[in-house]
Amino acid sequence: MAQPFSTRLRVLTALPLEIDPDEVLRFQGYKKAVDRPGPEVLALLDEALALGRALIAPRAVVRWLGVSRLGAGTIETGGVVLTIPSVDRLWGPIEWLAAAVCTIGDELERRVAELWEARELPLAAMLDSVGSGAVESLAEYVNDLFCQEAIPLGLPVTNRVSPGYGSWDVRQQTALFAICPGDPIGVGLNEACFMTPVKSISLLAAAGARAKVDHYFSQCARCWMRDCAYRRTPARKSVHRKPSSPPSRE
Ligand code: SF4
C-alpha cells in the first residue's frame, strides 16, 4: 500500500503568518470577551504589532512519521520512544505522528532587550507579548497545515501537545528533537531543554482514521481551508495572511 505521507524532514520558510491580536492580549493578561482594553492599550498594541511584523521571520521544520507502537502513555516512532502521559486516552488510536519545531527567530527578542535598556517599558512588554502571540499563531498555523494535509486522506488530526506543557515533561524535548531536529531553522536546545531562540515552540500532533478530534471547534475557527468537509465551525479569523491584503488587526 502506498504511504499517505512522505516522512522526510521539510523546512518551511517565509510563511504568510497573521498574528492573532487576541493571543497578544492574552499574554498581557486580558481575558477574551471579559476584559476590554482601553484606547491607550489598543494604540500600544498597534504600534507593537507593526514593529513585530517587521521583526519576525516565521519558519518551521516539520515531519510526518509512522507510529510503530502505541502503549499506555508511550508512542514509538523513528526508533524513539516518546513518553506522554495519557496520550493514548487523549488521542485514541493513531497511525501517524506529525512533529514540528517553529520559531519567529531572535530579532524581536533583541529589540525587546533594547527597549528595556532604553526604559521604554510599556512598548517592551507589549512587543514581547507580540512575539509570544506570533509564535503561538505560528504553532496554530502548522497544526492547521497538518490537518489540511491529512483530511483529504480521510485521516483526522488530533490537537497538538508540547514538551513542558500540561503533564508532558520538558526533558522530552530531546526525544522530539531526535525525530525532528531544529537545526535547519536555527533552533537549539540548552542543557535545561529550553529552546533558543526563546520564541520557539516544538509540538506533536497525530493522525488516524479513528483519532479523537473533539477539539476541532477551536482548530477550525482559525483555519483557512475552504470547503473542508470536516469543518465544525465557520472560520472566525485566520492565522494565514492573505497575499492581497496587508496584515490587519481584526
Ligand atoms: S477546517 Fe478544521 S477540519 Fe478542516 S483542515 Fe481546517 S482545522 Fe482541519
Q: What is the pLDDT of residue 248?
A: 40
Do 66 and 16 meet the contact criterion of CB atoms below 8 Å apart? no
Instruction: Calculate the alpha carbon distances from 185 to 13, 108, 191 in Å.
Output: 9, 16, 19
- Average pLDDT of the chain is 91
User: 149: Cβ below 6 Å to ligand 1?
Assistant: no
CA distance 173 to 177: 6
Q: Is the pLDDT of residue 249 over 50?
A: no
Residues forming beta bridges with residue 74, ordered by sequence position: 71, 83
CB neighbour class for 11 (10 Å; exposed up to 12, middle 13-18, buried from 19): exposed
Residues ≥6 apart with Cβ < 8 Å to 5: 64, 96, 149, 150
Orientation angle between helical segments 39-55 and 107-117, nearest 10 degrees: 130
Cα 222 to ligand 1 centre (Å): 9
Distance 220 CA to ligand 1 centre (A): 5
231 ligand 1 Cβ < 6 A? yes
Ligand 1 in reach of 151 Cβ (< 6 A): yes
Query: Which residues partner with 62 through β-bridges?
Result: 10, 100
Residue among 144, 160, 238, 239 whose CB has most ligand 1 atoms within 8 A, to mutate: 144
- When pLDDT is cut at 50, 70 and 90, the band that residue 119 belongs to is very high
| Structure confidence at residue 34 (pLDDT) | 76
138-181 pLDDT, tens per residue?
999 999 999 999 988 989 899 899 999 988 999 999 999 999 99
pLDDT score, position 250: 35
Whole-structure pTM value: 0.92
Domains of the chain: 10-212 (3.40.109.40)
Question: Grid coordinates representing 1?
Answer: 500500500
Cα–Cα distance between 96 and 67 in angstroms, integer? 5
Q: What percent of the chain has pLDDT over 70?
A: 95
What the block records as the C-alpha cell of 215 is 477539539
Q: For residue 231, report the distance from its CA to the centre of ligand 1, in Å.
A: 5
CA of 206 to the centre of ligand 1 (A): 14
Give the Å distances, CA to CA, from 162 to 83, 106, 167, 172, 250: 12, 20, 10, 9, 27
Residue nearest to atom 7 of ligand 1 (CA): 220
Tens digit of each residue's pLDDT (9 = 90 or more) over 87-109: 999 999 999 999 999 999 999 99
